[in-house]
Amino acid sequence: MLLLLIGGWWLYKIMEKRKSIKLKQKFFRQNGGLLLQQQLSSSDQCISKTKVFSSEELETATDGFNVNRILGQGGQGTVYKGMLADGVIVAVKRSTMVGEENLEGFINEVCILSQINQRNIVRLLGCCLEAEVPLLVYEFIPNGTLSEYLHPQNEFPLSWEMRLQIAAETAGALCYLHSAASIPIYHRDIKSTNILLDHKYRAKIADFGTSRSLSVDQTHLTTNVQGTFGYLDPEYFWSSRFTDKSDVYSFGVVLAELLTGQKAILTNESQEHTNLAAHFVLLMEENRIFDIVDAQIKEHCPKEDVIGVANIAERCLNLNGKKRPTMKQVTSELERIIQLSQKKDVQQNNEEAESITAEVISAWDDASTSITCSSFQVDKALSSSDVEPLVPFKTW
């Protein structure tokens, strides 16, 4: 009986293990594992960078995908904060549902992020295909999204210098995707909620689910229109042709957000919706840009810097894509504004230091003159008195 019980228990464990393996294999195929393997094997760069996590690891890391661990939710899934066994804090993105479109976006994001190595683009650590829905594991970015700091107004407002730096870093990351990556990549969903801020408030572009890579000889993509209302390139909306200038338009909307602190879609008191891009361009044409500059930075930003950034944003928002600058040009212009601003700050600090030094020297001269006058008055008083002069000590 004892042998039968032990044998039965052992047999049950084997059956359960086989059942679990078969279920994981089913989920693997269902989540596009075979297609992902095929895509990754076509690029040697991807294999070493993409770690495959087990479902148990990520269950433990997120405390069973506890609702208290949720960092954010979107159309493609929910992001949870987790801690791996080695103590590394990560962000785990769990797809909302399994579908052909979701699956394509998931596989696309893994393939694209596995090829990217840029400091202002969120880093993919690995994925899991054995769960009921696909899971992606990213580096954890602690300070949330840019949108959270712009609207509604955050307790910790971003200074003008920080906004300018975030704009330059985001532009640099897009420039890398368009012209410096091994293959050109269009993000296709640039917006303030997809720009994360790390512990030093440096920008990190995220969410590459709708991104596409191109062959070297391609200049555009012809696809079904996808994107976020308010950031969508009107030219792409009319023609279904997505180019690098479509990303430039979306970045122009982000620049307008950084300058104004307003959302991409404005809502007035009568609940009517207005496009920020159109409103921004109209104010630029009327030379009234300072009417809409964010009150939190209005008194603390150089006017010439604001005008420079506003001019870049206006060019990015041109309805004719051919008249928009490239991201390389945008990056160069933003970096030039930052450098000029820093030079002015250094010059101003030097002038202040020179002014303080001059005041100290002047005060010292006045003090010396006063001391000299006092000494003269004492000597005069002594010479005019009946006091006999002091006899000097004898020198030994």
Q: How confident is the model at residue 307, as a pLDDT? A: 95
Question: Tens digits of per-residue pLDDT, 17-42?
Answer: 776 666 555 555 555 555 555 555 55
- Domains of the chain: residue spans and CATH: 30-140 (3.30.200.20), 141-347 (1.10.510.10)
Exactly one of 189, 233, 244, 294 is catalytic; which is it? 189
Q: What is the mean pLDDT of residues 327-341?
A: 95
Contact 141, 196 (CB under 8 A): yes
The β-bridge relationship of strands 70-73 and 195-197 is unpaired
Judge whether residue 304 has pLDDT over 90. Answer: yes
Answer yes or no: 291 catalytic: no
pLDDT digits (tens, 9 = 90+) for 187-197: 999 999 999 99
CA separation for the pair 358, 109 (Å, rounded):
61
**pLDDT class for 217, splitting at 50, 70, 90?**
low
State the average pLDDT over residues 378-389.
53
Q: Residue 279: CA atoms inside 13 Å, Cβ hemisphere, count?
A: 21
- Which of the four pLDDT bands, split at 50, 70 and 90, describes residue 251? very high
What's the confidence (pLDDT) of residue 13? 78
Is residue 293 over pLDDT 90? yes
Higher-confidence residue of 110 and 23: namely: 110
> What percent of the chain lies above the pLDDT cut of 90?
45
CB atoms under 10 Å from CB of 337, counted, come to: 20
Q: Provide the pLDDT for residue 390.
A: 45
Average model confidence (pLDDT) across the chain: 81
- Regarding predicted confidence, which is higher, 191 or 223? 191
Give tens-digit pLDDT for 199-214.
999 999 998 877 887 7
More confident residue, 332 or 8: 332
Of 17-21, 324-328, 346-350, 365-369, which has the strongest mean pLDDT?
324-328
Q: In which region does residue 63 sit, left (phi positive, over 0), alpha (psi from -120 to 50) or beta (all else)? A: left
Query: Which of residues 377 and 285 earns the better pLDDT score?
Result: 285
> What pLDDT is stored for residue 347 in this prediction?
66
Residue 362 main-chain phi, psi, to 5 deg: -60, -45
Residue given tokens 């109209």 in the structure block: 282
Report, as an integer, the average pLDDT of 78-98: 88
pLDDT exceeds cutoff 70 at 181:
yes
Res 12: pLDDT: 78
Kindly tell me if the per-residue pLDDT of 394 is higher than 50. Answer: no
- The yes-or-no verdict on residue 280 having pLDDT over 90 is yes
Token pair, residue 354, equals: 């020179």
Confidence of residue 396 (pLDDT cuts 50, 70, 90): very low
Q: If you count them, how many residues does the chain have?
A: 396
The rounded percent of the chain whose pLDDT value lies above 70 is 73
Question: From edge to edge, which strands make up the β-sheet containing 77-83?
Answer: 51-52, 124-128, 135-139, 89-95, 77-83, 70-73
The mean-pLDDT minimum among 111-115, 268-272, 377-381 falls in: 377-381
Over range 238-255, report the average pLDDT: 94
Cα angle for residues 143, 125, 99 (degrees, 5° grid): 95
Question: Given a cut of 60, is residue 228 above it in pLDDT?
Answer: yes
At residue 391 the predicted structure's pLDDT band, cuts being 50, 70 and 90, is very low
Summarised one tens digit per residue, pLDDT across range 37-76 is: 555 555 544 444 568 888 889 999 999 999 999 988 876 7
H or E element: which one contains 274?
strand 273-275
Per-residue confidence (pLDDT) for residue 182, from 0 to 100: 79
pLDDT, position 245:
95
